[in-house]
Chain A
């Protein structure tokens, strides 16, 4: 049997003291480790747990027409999301009493607002996950109605979304964005560097209740909003032109039609309308072929509207005058065994150069044009802007095709047919700007579609424009315009473009469309003209592609007349007070 003995109290006390010292030392070491050695890392972890970093989205700039009408801007749409793991009945205060609303009932309420089926909503909100999207990008009105239901397990993500308030008005020009806001077409893509802003960033600490902690560090990188693009387009005129073209396409059962209105003295595009076209709010509804801009991208042989360049070249080179006579046969047979005929059978006629244009004679324009060397004619064709992209440099714009004399593709037949618009390809925008210098004393101006990129302070950064080019001297230019007036006065089809009260000059075009190596039975019909002819202010080019009910330019003059009348009314152009200079059609 052993008994506890008191032992040495001093020794025990010393031992206890040593243990206490040891334990305290351990705590001290740990304290130093946490507070000093690991302090920075721990602080980082702690801050990371409390801090919230939020991207401040930069709003994309708007696209405006010449009068400030918004064609494209960015608004918020809202994704409606649920946390299925937290879904349950909700309490709603009805007449001062809390009433429990079942999940099925809530789903039915949501479905009614979101235009969905209750089952569909239920399927999305039942589950164990933390996230389920019910519907994407609902508008602000729907978002507000959903929010008013006060459903605690719903949450909302604001999504910046591009909206085009006027729909397809200028939709071919504005282009559109993809679902991920990537610019896919048109000016949206071409001027993305101007329109896109730079996202900002905000970091702050939040409490348990999600409210920002006072005096918590906030690191903010301010969002820089995108800048606006200002166009030269008049959206009201654009709408009018699109209406007329849409009607024309239906009436003529055509593939497409385009109308381009140019302010002659400035080179500004006032309308660049097409039908069919795209509603950029919903590009998926349009055929892929209608989502671009045929005005800049479609290439076709222009036909007789080219005869104006040939006639102008002949006059400018003093090879003939508007009243100079030519014996014009129905058929011309060349030494290399090929021939060219007019569109209608006729005996040999004594036509003046002006008469050749009025009758749109192929053989006649060849007789006149071959008075000038091929190289000279080519030089004028290039001076009129063909064979190269316009300075607008639109997305996917084509340069057209112009063969140079002396090259392999410029054969003997090309030399002849180029004079009346075959063997050469152009875009609709090029055809309009063939006539712009004629309406501006012979000076060709670079086409302008975008007036500039406008900053928040109102400053406008305009795209560079090439210097004006003198295509014709003023005397030759006037003679050419006089001949165009005679086309409208005496031309079989040209006279259908007459606008009472105004002097009008223009040229018809009925171009066969290439079908493989030859030509098919379908046409591109057009009328390009200017008014008032004594001092032209506006140029309008209308093209209708592959019409079936009317296959000559008789189908193009009615829309031309309607749109030009609207232009003259819109811009308050007073009626003409002088009469056209008479140039005889025939000679004796």
Chain B
């Protein structure tokens, strides 16, 4: 029966269907193209994922590095502030006045003026030891004096330097030229110091 049925089937080629035609098979070509596209997509996705991962790791590392540098900056800022406050304190008028006083430097309440032109001295010279009218110590309060001059050490250093200079001067007396004294028009020697 079935054989008969099959036999009765009209062959495809025999059926005349205008508009339809048999084309050359592409089955063999489609498979590699699909695999290639899928491969490209897969590689692309993987590349992006790996790149993303690498970038993420890099940026995370940078963030920790940044955090570390910011911490370092904070530490340096703190150091700068500590040093700045020490400089402020050391250069404050109160500290300088106290240091000068402890080094034996005192302000003369009776200054005398020298006028080079005419070679005249104005005022009555008096020893600075005359304490009349002179403030003996700093009288202007400053609670920010966090650091004070160690004048004892400074005085010792100066004494040491003076002794050194003195010895040096004796040893090299012949070599060292005396500083040139500049004379003013009026004949009074002026200091060579500028």
Contacts and interface: CB of A to CB of B under 8 A. Distances in A.
B144 A281 contact: yes
A235 B111 CA distance: 21
A452 B67 CA distance: 40
Given A166-B142, A167-B94, A140 B82 contact: yes
A243 B140 CA distance: 6
Interface of A is mostly: mixed
A214 B60 contact: yes
A574 interface: yes
Nearest to B145: A167
20 contacts: A76-B78, A139-B85, A140-B81, A141-B82, A165-B89, A166-B142, A167-B92, A167-B94, A169-B140, A211-B64, A211-B67, A215-B59, A246-B139, A247-B133, A247-B134, A275-B139, A279-B141, A282-B143, A500-B112, A501-B123
Contacts of A144: 78, 82
B97 interface: yes
Contacts of B124: 500
A334 to B, nearest CB: 42
A242 interface: yes
B143 A281 contact: yes
B27 interface: no
Interface string B141-183: 1111110000000000000000000000000000000000000
A167 B113 contact: no
B135 A246 contact: yes
B59 A569 contact: no
A164 interface: yes
A575 B56 contact: no
A319 interface: no
A168 B143 CA distance: 9
Interface string B44-84: 00000000000010011011100100000000001001101
Contact of A501 (B82, B85, B122): B122
Contacts of A502: 122
B63 A214 contact: yes
A140 B113 contact: no
Given A211-B63, A565-B111, A281 B142 contact: yes
Interface of A: 70, 75-76, 139-141, 143-144, 163-169, 211-212, 214-215, 235-236, 239, 242-244, 246-247, 250, 275, 277, 279, 281-282, 285, 500-502, 558, 562, 565, 569, 574-575
B100 interface: no
B86 to A, nearest CB: 9
Interface in B113-135: 113, 115, 122-124, 133-135
A565 B109 CA distance: 9
Contacts of A76: 78, 81
A389 B141 CA distance: 30
Contact of B85 (A163, A168, A569): A163
A163 B85 CA distance: 9
Contact of B113 (A250, A501, A562): A501
A501 B109 contact: no
B194 to A, nearest CB: 15
A247 B109 CA distance: 13
A575 B145 CA distance: 38
Nearest to A247: B135
Contacts of A569: 111
Given A163-B144, A167-B94, 16 more contacts: A139-B146, A166-B93, A166-B142, A167-B92, A167-B140, A168-B142, A169-B140, A169-B142, A214-B62, A239-B93, A239-B94, A247-B135, A250-B139, A281-B142, A282-B143, A575-B122
A235 B140 CA distance: 12
B138 interface: yes
B133 A562 contact: yes
A168 B141 contact: yes
A461 to B, nearest CB: 27
Which interface residue of A141, A165, A501, A565 has the most chain B CB atoms within 10 A?
A165
A502 B123 CA distance: 10
B141 A243 contact: no
A75 B81 CA distance: 7
B133 A558 contact: yes
Q: Which among B85, B112, B139 has the highest number of chain A CB atoms within 10 Å?
A: B139
B67 A212 contact: yes
Contacts of B112: 500
B67 A70 contact: no
Contact of B144 (A164, A246, A565, A575): A164
Contacts of B89: 165
Contacts of B139: 242-243, 246-247, 250, 275
B85 A75 contact: yes
Contacts of A165: 85, 88-89, 92, 144
A279 B111 CA distance: 30
Contacts of B140: 167-169, 239, 242-243, 246, 277
A500 B142 contact: no
Given A139-B85, A500-B124, A574-B115, A169 B93 contact: yes
Nearest to B93: A239
Contacts of B67: 211-212
A547 B184 CA distance: 48
Contacts of B97: 239, 243
Contacts of A212: 63, 67
Contacts of A169: 92-94, 140, 142
Nearest to B80: A140
Contact of B115 (A243, A275, A501): A501
Nearest to A501: B122
A420 to B, nearest CB: 29
B88 to A, nearest CB: 4
Contacts of A285: 141, 143
Contacts of B115: 501, 574-575
Contacts of A143: 78
B56 A214 contact: yes
Contacts of A575: 113, 115, 122
Contact of B122 (A214, A247, A500): A500
A338 B83 CA distance: 68
A91 to B, nearest CB: 22
Contacts of B134: 247
Q: What 4 pairs between A and B have smallest CB-CB spacing?
A: A167-B142, A501-B122, A246-B139, A165-B88
A144 B79 CA distance: 9
Contacts of B88: 70, 163, 165
A102 B119 CA distance: 78
B97 to A, nearest CB: 7
